[in-house]
Amino acid sequence: MRIKLHNLIFLGMALGVVVGIGLWWVKKQAAETGEPTPAFVGYTLWWLDLFGPTIFMGALKMIIAPLILASIVAGVTSLPNMSELGAIGWKTLVYYICTTTIAVVIGLAFVLTIQPGKKTASQAVRANRQADLDRHRLAFEANTGQEALDHSGATVEYLAWLSEQEGEQAGRGHDAARFSKLAGAKDRNAGDIFKDDIVRPLLMNPFTSVASVPPNSLGIIFFALLLGIACTVVGTDKAGGVISFFHALNAVIMKVTHWLMSIAPFAIGCIMAKMVAQNGPEIFETLGWYCMTVIGGILVHLVVLFAIAGAIGGVGPRRLWRGIREAWMIAFTTRSSAATLPVTIANVTEKLKASPKVANFSLPLGATMNMDGTALYEGVAVIFLIQIYGGLDDVTITMTAITTFLIFVTAVLASVGAAAVPDAGLVTMVLVASAVHLPIYYIPLIFAVDAFLDMFRTSTNVLGDAVGAVVVSRLERGRLGEGSA
């Protein structure tokens, strides 16, 4: 009997976890005895990286740019008229705004209720930080001859000196590369992000957009929309060849996607093994409550998405899961909704029977702009850090209604600007932290569990996109002349 693909992927994930724990245990034993890590561990990790992130994720990323271009042009030129594009467009955007808002509200409710930053382990982190600040304060006063504190709290000079010291220290650690991304984004406000991350990418040369690493999805989407609309306006008599080309290209890329899925179980096992081997279970000792808060909020949001799919999209939970589980598992392990996009489109159109005209437009757009899991996570993360460090010399903010509202608004905006690649949420989190004056050198505290939580938020992003395509497809089924999903 032939085993179904999704069962093979589950098996690959499970074996990957077992292999990863074994490698992590060998590394731990070597560290405890003071002996060097056995050579086979390094060789194994190299092979795992080759077959998982390098080959499989690389192959998926290879077809993202042509897939977005072909699918959107094919979707637009398949519509009966331009009014249908407008109807699909505004319904899709309204859905994205509503679900992202719901996600942030759920996240804020969880973190304010559970208060993971007030738990014993988190307060131990605060106590250690307080001791560090006491030493910094004495060092500043000894080196400069100035008082570090005045009647209003920390002086401007002391805060500037402290920020420089902390930035240098974070830039030298093993997470220096990730911190440099945060430091590069800390001086940008919402206007800068809108101009640099939305407006400019929209108007980039389409060939540059396709060739960029990662591809400039916004630029590709915008150009594809223009191209599709122009083809429709010109008509099939003159633009028929162009329309046929993009429809054929879309079909060919979907065939390539099916070929890639045949190696997914093995590749996903490699990805899981490498991740578990590198991190191990020890990362949850301090941040366990934080992880539980994020995952709890995401689980509630998943219930909301399943309810929306059933009530508005006409697809029950069982059918939705069966239709999207392959894309969900790939998103969970690769942590990239962009890399998962080819599989998402295939699942939504072939298994959930959503309209290709809707899916080819909404799913590429959703992979770029609809980040429910990321939005929820960023709000929780910033409040968690404030709960730990609020009231210290360099964190004068406290949780008030205004602070909560600022975090809510900026978390929604930041999620739109998040790229569909691993660790993107950490960079856009700088916008949320800066809005409430939380120093960015506190963000590395959550680096240790970010990869683990990224699996949950990315798979939530993909599920949200899929539900959006199903919902809009059903709402438009009458005018598109197609059956319901």
Whether residue 154 is contained in a domain is answered as yes
- Nearest 5°: the CA angle 248, 249, 253 is 120
Neighbours of 394 (CB within 10 A): 20
Q: How many structural domains is the chain composed of? A: 1
Q: Kindly give the pairing relationship between strand 149-150 and strand 153-154.
A: antiparallel
The residue behind tokens 């029977």 is 353
- What's the pLDDT score for residue 441? 79
Whether residue 247 is contained in a domain is answered as yes
What residue type is 122 in one-letter code?
S
Residue 84 CA to residue 42 CA, distance in Å, equals: 55
Asked if 425 contacts 457 with a C-beta cutoff of 8 angstroms, the reply is: yes
Whether residue 485 is contained in a domain is answered as no
The residue behind tokens 């080196």 is 143
Asked if 366 contacts 464 with a C-beta cutoff of 8 angstroms, the reply is: yes
Torsion of CA 49, 55, 57, 59, to 10 degrees: 170
Residue 165 CA to residue 360 CA, distance in Å, equals: 49
Give the largest Cα separation in the chain, rounded.
81
Whether residue 343 is contained in a domain is answered as yes
Its pTM stands at 0.80
Q: Which of 351, 355, 330 is nearest to 340 (CA)?
A: 330
Whether residue 41 is contained in a domain is answered as yes
Whether residue 316 is contained in a domain is answered as yes
Whether residue 376 is contained in a domain is answered as yes
SS3 letters for the chain? CCCCHHHHHHHHHHHHHHHHHHHHHHHHHHHHHCCCCCHHHHHHHHHHHHHHHHHHHHHHHHCHHHHHHHHHHHHHHHCCCHHHHHHHHHHHHHHHHHHHHHHHHHHHHHHHHHCHHHCHHHHHHHHHHHHHHHHHHHHHHHHHCCCCEECCEECHHHHHHHHHHHHHHHHHCCCHHHHHHHHHHCCCCHHHHHHHHHHHHHCCCHHHHHHCCCCCHHHHHHHHHHHHHHHHHHCHHHHHHHHHHHHHHHHHHHHHHHHHHCCHHHHHHHHHHHHHHHHCHHHHHHHHHHHHHHHHHHHHHHHHHHHHHHHCCCCCHHHHHHHHHHHHHHHHHHCCHHHHHHHHHHHHHHCCCCCHHHHHHHHHHHHHHCCHHHHHHHHHHHHHHHHHHCCCCCCCCCCCHHHHHHHHHHHHHHHHHCCCCCCHHHHHHHHHHHHCCCCHHHHHHHHHHHHHHHHHHHHHHHHHHHHHHHHHHHHCHHHHCCCCC
pLDDT in tens, the chain (485 residues): 577 777 888 898 889 889 998 998 998 888 888 888 888 988 999 999 998 888 888 888 888 888 888 888 888 888 777 778 888 889 999 999 999 999 999 999 999 999 998 888 888 888 888 888 888 888 888 888 787 777 666 777 877 777 777 765 654 555 555 545 554 555 555 566 667 666 777 788 888 888 876 677 778 888 988 998 899 888 888 888 999 999 999 889 888 888 888 888 899 889 888 888 876 766 566 688 899 999 999 999 999 999 999 999 999 999 999 999 999 999 998 888 888 889 999 999 999 999 988 998 899 888 878 889 988 998 999 999 999 888 887 787 877 888 888 888 888 877 765 554 455 566 667 778 877 888 877 887 887 788 788 889 899 999 999 999 999 999 987 666 554 45
Q: Which of 380, 383, 394 is nearest to 450 (CA)?
A: 380
Q: Is 481 exposed, middle or buried (0-12, 13-18, 19+ CB in 10 A)?
A: exposed
- What's the pLDDT score for residue 63? 85
Residue 267 CA to residue 374 CA, distance in Å, equals: 25
Domain carrying residue 460: 5-480
Asked if 467 contacts 320 with a C-beta cutoff of 8 angstroms, the reply is: yes
The residue behind tokens 């909301």 is 304
- What's the pLDDT score for residue 298? 96
Which CATH number fits the domain that encloses residue 225? 1.10.3860.10
